[in-house]
Structure 1
Amino acid sequence: MAKKNRAKGRPAETTTSGEVGPRQPCPCGSGKRYKACHGAPGGSTVFVKRPFEGLASECDLVAMRELVPAATALLPLTGEYAGRTVRVCTLLPMAAPAMVRESGEVWLGLQVQHAFGDPSRDLAAVLLAAFEAEPGTPMVGLTEAPGEGPRLQDLVADEALRVEVHEGFDFWVADVEESPEVAAALEQADGAAAPTARLASVEAAYWTQLGEREFLRWVMPEPEDALLDAFARLHVDGADRVIDGARLIGMFRAHGVVAPVWELPDGTGVEGVEDGAAELRTRLDAALADESELTTEQRSARSGLANRQVTIR
Structure 2
Amino acid sequence: MAKRTAVKSKPADGINPRQPCPCGSGKRYKACHGGAGGAADVIVARPFQGLAAETELIALREFVPSATVRLPLQDAPREVVLASVLPMAAAALIRADGTAFVGLQVQTRSGDLSRDLARAVRWALTAETGDALPVVGPDDGAEPGRLQDLLDVDAVVEPELHTDFAWWMPPDDEPTGDVALSLERANAAILPTERVAAPGVRAAYWVDAGDKAHLRWVRPEPEEQLLAALARLSVRGELDLGEGSRYAGSFRAHGLLVPVWDLDRELHSSEWAGPAEALGKRLQEALSSLDAEQLTEAERRARDGLRGRQITLR
TM range (shorter): 0.7 to 0.9
Specify the code of the residue in structure 1 equivalent to 2:313.
I
The change in CA–CA distance for 1:183 and 1:115 in structure 2 (over 3 A counts) is same
Specify the code of the residue in structure 2 equivalent to 1:262.
W
Cα deviation for residue 174 of structure 1 reads: 3.5
The change in CA–CA distance for 1:172 and 1:59 in structure 2 (over 3 A counts) is same
Cα deviation for residue 43 of structure 1 reads: 9.6
Distance 1:146 1:225 in 2: 36
- In structure 1, the partner of 2:267 is 268
1:244 aligned onto 2:239: no
Give 3-state SS (helix, strand or coil) of 1:113's partner: coil
- In structure 2, the partner of 1:47 is 43
Tell whether the 8 Å contact from 2:39 to 2:112 is kept in structure 1 after alignment: no
Cα deviation for residue 101 of structure 1 reads: 2.1
Q: Which runs of 5+ in 2 are unaligned?
A: 1-19, 26-36
- In structure 1, the partner of 2:59 is 63
- In structure 1, the partner of 2:29 is none
Distance 1:255 1:310 in 2: 12
Distance 2:140 2:205 in 1: 32
Tell whether the 8 Å contact from 1:122 to 1:146 is kept in structure 2 after alignment: no
Distance 2:137 2:151 in 1: 24
What's the TM-score, normalizing by structure 1? 0.83
- In structure 2, the partner of 1:302 is 303
- In structure 1, the partner of 2:211 is 212
Tell whether the 8 Å contact from 1:125 to 1:146 is kept in structure 2 after alignment: no
Q: Which has the larger displacement, 51-60 or 228-237?
A: 51-60
- In structure 2, the partner of 1:111 is 105
Specify the code of the residue in structure 2 equivalent to 1:238.
G
- In structure 2, the partner of 1:151 is 146
Cα deviation for residue 64 of structure 1 reads: 0.2
Distance 1:95 1:48 in 2: 22
Cα deviation for residue 152 of structure 1 reads: 1.0
1:162 aligned onto 2:162: no
In the alignment of these two chains, the number of paired residues is 274
Distance 2:310 2:87 in 1: 31
Alignment of 1:87-98 (within 5 A): 87-98=81-92
| Alpha-carbon RMSD | 2.0
Tell whether the 8 Å contact from 1:121 to 1:146 is kept in structure 2 after alignment: no
Q: Which portions of structure 1, spanning 4 or more consecutive aligned residues, are displaced by more than 6 angstroms?
A: none
Distance 1:146 1:230 in 2: 43
Distance 2:109 2:253 in 1: 14
Specify the code of the residue in structure 2 equivalent to 1:156.
L
Q: Which runs of 5+ in 1 are unaligned?
A: 1-17, 19-26, 28-40
1:62-111 CA-partner distances (Å, limit 9, x unpaired): 000001111111112113x1x41111110100101111123432101000
